[in-house]
Amino acid sequence: SATKLITATAVFQLVEKKLINLKDPITRYLDHLPDHWSHVNIAHLLSHSSGLPDIIAYDSTLSDADLMSQLIESPLDFDAGKQFRYNQTNYWLLAQIIEQVTQISFEDFVLKNQFNDQYSGVLFSSNAMAQIDNRVTRYHYNNKAKTFKQDDINVGERGHSGNGLNITLNQMIQWNKRLDDGLLIDSQTKKDMWAPYAFTNQKDDFLHGWSSYLNNGIRSVGFTGGNLAGFRKFLDDEVTIIFFSNGYQHPGYDMIINDLSRMILPDLKRKDLVLEAEILQMVLNNQNQTAIETYKKLLSENPGTEFNNLKWNLNGIGNVLLYVDKNPAEALKVFEINVTVHPDWWVSHADLAEGLEAAAQYDQAVVHYQKAIDLNVSNEFNYNDQMILKIKSLKQSSGE
């Protein structure tokens, strides 16, 4: 998904040439879209605030035409511009807009305008099973088999703008240099691209195709991809960290980038900070109380930083214990860490409720399902309806 940085840059190249405008409705360029999508503009796609249904939830073997028909028939998730919700449909549509405006393929536009027509070391493929010379094989960890397996993801050409970039480290370094030197877009356009998007919920923090990160008061911009790659620019320090990998048991790309930044940046080198990786290791070693204390210390040393990668890692470890290892007692210990450290995060309560339900602690499961509903005010992932049904079922099971 770090490909999305390339796609965002392509969009701003067209903005700079005044061929498109961020406020343009997407129906201006794509006449096969329905009228009830006409309120969605290009900025909504870039900022993941479109509210459109996400193609990731649909059968990946559908043709483009059949998939689009199903998307059009599906209800919108929320009003455009309201909130951030990561969505692959947004970048499929951006590629279509780029192709409509330039009259060449998305891939050719990127290669010509960002890589100087250098096809060596850069190609697009969203098929992990395709046999491509010199490409590193992508793996995922199978928790049930306790081993790594070759990935079998294939989302076809429509995934190219959202996740299809295959690139050597040297080519990525050169791309970053061209971006820094103003050869891709000028300084004002970069500033516009890295400006926060104004979500109407006045809560979410995302730029235009780029994420914003805060590490002990130092802000950086970038994105991570498929839990395998990370790209981060510390603008004030003129430092860029590029991280590539081809597999993981527990994704740690953001942790590694944060650790590297502490080695490199003077303002961070002077501080004896707790590392996210240490906390993760404590959890894996069943040192849960120490993990909670250390986690709280980490947050106190980095005010304003959410450490999303860490809390989602804990979420993943708990789910593996619960659903793969069938060990709700141990899963509950992990879920309780997130509830203790992030009491206002609805996901932490939903996780804990699922663990309590599996442990047959139905009354407490109902309490935390309800807490999750109360906190999930935007009905993220349309999860509240499911939880309401779950509460009703649990109350019936307990005889209420």
Could you read off the pLDDT of 17-69 as tens digits, one per residue?
Answer: 999 999 999 999 999 999 999 999 999 999 999 999 999 989 989 999 999 99
What share of the chain in percent tops pLDDT 90? 69
| Amino acid occupying residue 24 | D
pLDDT for the residue 399? 62
Within the chain, where are the H helices?
3-16, 42-46, 64-73, 88-102, 106-114, 160-163, 169-180, 187-193, 253-264, 266-269, 276-284, 288-301, 308-319, 328-341, 346-358, 362-375, 384-397
pTM score of the predicted model: 0.89
pLDDT tens for each residue of 205-246: 999 999 999 888 889 999 987 778 999 999 999 999 999 998
Residue 274: other Cβ atoms inside 10 A: 17
Which residues 6+ apart lie within 8 Å of 63 measured at CB?
none
CA 366 vs. chain centroid, Å, equals 29
Please give the pLDDT value at position 23: 97
Residue 63, exposed/middle/buried by CB under 10 A (0-12, 13-18, 19+)? exposed
